[in-house]
Structure 1
């Protein structure tokens, strides 16, 4: 069996799966991350048969904002205006 832990940037365990059965040493798990996760370095820690492995990944700031651009132009242009 294998124990798997997701740790947030603060080092706290956010999700844990203990005593997971593996198929040929492989286990597939999911942890959905919300729209505003804490930024920083996250960790995935695994323990199996007395061994421990840790992998890290980083979540950066992301903005997906809509914006509007307004352009005001004169009602007329002189005839000698280039362009």
Structure 2
């Protein structure tokens, strides 16, 4: 599981271009990527995440009234949401 999580600079990810940085300290400006092809679903990252924003689960169908952030514990990872 150690090779499935990568810490990257936001500048290396096209989708992160122009996004707000999380803090004033440049060392805070990183993006964590979980490689789904290598991940074994061991949940080590979920258990050790200091901010509790990594969850193991499957995003449900989108709500007709907007995104209600509903997740189940079937499979897949979500990042950046606290419940």
- Which bracket does the TM-score occupy, shorter chain normalised? under 0.3
More strand by share: 1
More helix by share: 2
TM-score (norm 1): 0.21
